[in-house]
Structures are given as structure tokens and as C-alpha cells.
């Protein structure tokens, strides 16, 4: 198959659809890989790196789309890319289509076979192509929290781990899923005193086993949340109720009782946030202050570590991309049935029920 990797054109998007190691595997399996010139530069992968593993560099996105049978991207196509897509082409990327009515119509009109990373779901409900970005965001949340606790960045001027004879910082993590675990690993590693709250008992048990007494687990209820939050130096919001807006668990009153110079990082801000005082910020202006408490609420945290994020993304997407390239969509579904949950558009119709409902468009599931 001919596989195309265009340069991402969304503002502040420096990731790329495949790393050079990913391209190498496609080439090894006999596929032709076309990479748009400078597509990898945002994460320091040069055209020469791609050429060295067998890719062909293409100067214009137009030519790349024209020749490719499958496009592998990071973000949804933007209006400048709509005309470039070819009828019947396979598109493998993050789509978030429910929020993109215009794109949904274009994909249907062009009968694009659109597979969205974010809806590919395992039987246990996990989302293997979303997980790597949650891992990145979880680790980053502690890292940025430590940064903003510094006096010169507006915080109270403490080290997460303290030093010998001096208190450690208190870190409270609400939600012990993928983001929460990664945030906790970083905080424990830096020597902080860590509390994780979750409502899922078996998850709390898993966390106890995982951290072997290095973190305090607590059931998430208003009492425990309030007691933990008001004593904490760094509060990380990491809650998810799949398919829903995040529940606002942390009230303004709780935030007002935190000591001045404390830091709040609401990772769940992309789902509306679980902290009442949070509103989305951006990498160009990431923080604001309320009652002396610094808030960091960036909805695309992985964007500032595009190199790590791109490698993590390719690791997750590669097995699926290789199967699609080897067999084409129909046969690929026999080999890897969970790919079916990724089909958002097929043969001119929305093939993912929740997307069709949200867009008020006709739903026609993919039928073998």
C-alpha cells in the first residue's frame, strides 16, 4: 500500500503521524511511504532521517494526498485539507468528529474510510490509542506543578521532595486512572507526599498494590476531597467518566481554603474540568491566579513535548496501521476486530453511533 504522512497544519501542533522507526517497519513490510517535506521537524525528525529508512519525501501536500491510499495523521483534517483527500481513501488519525460537522460531511461526501484513534476500544473499555497521551499528560502534570511551585514562577517556593530535615510537599491527585497513576509515579519519584482519590474500589486496591505504601489512597467523597485539597500544595485533577463531561468535584470554596502559592493542574479540563475554578488556558498563556492559587489548565498538554508524544503515539498506532496497510480495511477487521470500533465514516455514512447522534446525521454501521 502507498502510505502518506502529511505535515500537521493545526496551530501549535508539532507532532507527526509516524516516526522514522514507524516508517521503517512499513517499508520493511513492502509498503511505500511518502512523507511531506519538513513533516517531522517539529519533533526533530528530519527529511534525511526519513529518507534513511526508505521513505520518499514529497514537496507538496497535494501530491502526497493524490498518490496515497492511506493517510496517517495526528489531528483531524482542517478545511485547507478537505479538497486534498481522495475519494475512498483510508484516513487514520485523531478525529473527534462529533465536534466537526463540516468535516463529517466532507468525509461522507468523499466516502473516506475514516478510522479515529480515540474510539478504538478494547473489550475492557480501555482506549489503547488514547492512553499514550494520558500517560504524557499525567507525567507532565507533576512536572509543571513542580515548576509552578517555584517562587520565580508564582508558587510558594517549595521543592516537591523537600530536603533532609524539611517537610515534603503534599500532592493530591483526584482520579487514579492512567493520568493519575503517571502523575503519582512522578510525584513519588520526586519524594512528595502523595494522596490519590478515586471512587472505584478495585482501582484503589490496584493503586495500593502498585505503590506499596508509597501513596495514600482514599475513597473519593466530599469529606475526603475537602480535607485533602485544603492541605495540599499541588492539586491534580485527573477524573474521567467516559463519554460525559467531567464532574465538578472540587468547589470554589475548597480552592479558597488552599494556602497561597499552591498550584492546581486540571488535566481533565479537556472534558470540562473537575475543579470549579478551572477554565481552559493555552501553552502561550498557561496559568492564571485565583485567591493566590495558581491554576494551570491546558487542554493539550502533550503539545509541548511533541517528540516524546510522537514516539508514544507511533508505538500505539503502529500495529493497527500495519494491519490496515497489509490487508485493507475489510480484511484487517478479521485480523484485528477492535479496529471496527474506530470506524467513524464508511461508504458515505457516519458509522459510529455516538458521533451520528451528536451530529444529527444518519447512522449506518459498518457491515461486513
> 161-200: which residues touch ligand NAD (CB under 6 A)?
174-180, 197-200
Q: What is the dihedral of CA 318, 320, 324, 327, to 10 degrees?
A: 110
The neighbouring-strand residues paired with 346 are 349
Q: What are phi and psi of 240, to 5 degrees?
A: -145, 130
- Per CB under 6 A, the list member of 269, 278, 324, 355 interacting with ligand NAD is 269
Cross-strand bridge partners of residue 352 = none
Q: How far is the CB of 355 from ligand NAD (least distance, A)?
A: 17
Residue 142 binds ligand NAD, judged by CB under 6 A = no
Give the list of residues 6+ apart from residue 235 with CB closer than 8 angstroms, or none: 171, 172, 174, 229, 250, 258, 262, 263, 264, 265, 275
257 is a contact residue toward ligand NAD (CB under 6 A)? no
- Please pick, from the candidates 60, 99, 222, 241, the single residue that binds ligand NAD as defined by CB under 6 A: 241
Binding segment for ligand NAD (CB under 6 A), chosen from 15-23, 209-217, 300-308, 317-325, is: 300-308
User: Of all residues in this chain, which one has the CB nearest to ligand NAD in the complex?
Assistant: 177
Q: What is the CA radius of gyration of the chain?
A: 22
Candidate list 96, 153, 208, 358, residue with the active-site label: 96
Question: 26 and 18 in contact (C-beta within 8 Å)?
Answer: yes
Please give the DSSP secondary-structure letter assigned to residue 354.
H
For residue 300, state whether it binds ligand NAD (rule: CB under 6 A): yes
User: Using the rule CB under 6 A, which residue among 70, 133, 190, 333 binds ligand NAD?
Assistant: 133
Task: By CB under 6 A, name the one of 89, 220, 228, 309 that touches ligand NAD.
Answer: 220
What is the distance between the alpha carbons of residues 86 and 107, in angstroms, rounded to a whole number?
Answer: 10
Q: Which is nearer to ligand NAD, 87 or 209 (CB)?
A: 209
Where does this chain bind ligand NAD (CB under 6 A)? 133-134, 137, 174-180, 197-200, 203, 220, 238-241, 246-247, 249, 267-271, 299-302
Amino acid at each position: 500500500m502507498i502510505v502518506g504522512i502529511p505535515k500537521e497544519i493545526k496551530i501549535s501542533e508539532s507532532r507527526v503521524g509516524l516516526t522514522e522507526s514507524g516508517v521503517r517497519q512499513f517499508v520493511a513490510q513492502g509498503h511505500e511511504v511518502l512523507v511531506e517535506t519538513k513533516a517531522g521537524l517539529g519533533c526533530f525528525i528530519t527529511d534525511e532521517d526519513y529518507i534513511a529508512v526508505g521513505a520518499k519525501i514529497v514537496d507538496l501536500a497535494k501530491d502526497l494526498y493524490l498518490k496515497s491510499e492511506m493517510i496517517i495523521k495526528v489531528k483531524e483534517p482542517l478545511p485547507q485539507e478537505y479538497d486534498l483527500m481522495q475519494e475512498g481513501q483510508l484516513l487514520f488519525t485523531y478525529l473527534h468528529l462529533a465536534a466537526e460537522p463540516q468535516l463529517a460531511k466532507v468525509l461522507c461526501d468523499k466516502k473516506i474510510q475514516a478510522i479515529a484513534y480515540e474510539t478504538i476500544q478494547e473489550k475492557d473499555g480501555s482506549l489503547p490509542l488514547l492512553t499514550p497521551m494520558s500517560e504524557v499528560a499525567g507525567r507532565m502534570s507533576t512536572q509543571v506543578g513542580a515548576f509552578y511551585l517555584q517562587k520565580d514562577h508564582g508558587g510558594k517556593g517549595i521543592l516537591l521532595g523537600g530536603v533532609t530535615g524539611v517537610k515534603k510537599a503534599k500532592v493530591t491527585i483526584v482520579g487514579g486512572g492512567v493520568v493519575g497513576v503517571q502523575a503519582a509515579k512522578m510525584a513519588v519519584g520526586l519524594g512528595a507526599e502523595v494522596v490519590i482519590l478515586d471512587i472505584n474500589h478495585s482501582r484503589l486496591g490496584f493503586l495500593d498494590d502498585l505503590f506499596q505504601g508509597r501513596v495514600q489512597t482514599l475513597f473519593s467523597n466530599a469529606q475526603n476531597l475537602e480535607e485533602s485539597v485544603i492541605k495540599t500544595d499541588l492539586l491534580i485533577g485527573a477524573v474521567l467518566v467516559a463519554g460525559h463531561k467531567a464532574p465538578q468535584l472540587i468547589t470554589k470554596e475548597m480552592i479558597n481554603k488552599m494556602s497561597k502559592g499552591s498550584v492546581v493542574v486540571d488535566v481533565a479540563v479537556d472534558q470540562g474540568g473537575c475543579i470549579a475554578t478551572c477554565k481552559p488556558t493555552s501553552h502561550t498563556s498557561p496559568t492564571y491566579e485565583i485567591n493566590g492559587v495558581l491554576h494551570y489548565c491546558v487542554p493539550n498538554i502533550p503539545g509541548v513535548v511533541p517528540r516524546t508524544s510522537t514516539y508514544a503515539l507511533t508505538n500505539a498506532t503502529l500495529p493497527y496501521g500495519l494491519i490496515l496497510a497489509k490487508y485493507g480495511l475489510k480484511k484487517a477487521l478479521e485480523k484485528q476486530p477492535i479496529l471496527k470500533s474506530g470506524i467513524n465514516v464508511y461508504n458515505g455514512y457516519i458509522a459510529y453511533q455516538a458521533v451520528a447522534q451528536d451530529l444529527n446525521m444518519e447512522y449506518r454501521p459498518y457491515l461486513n
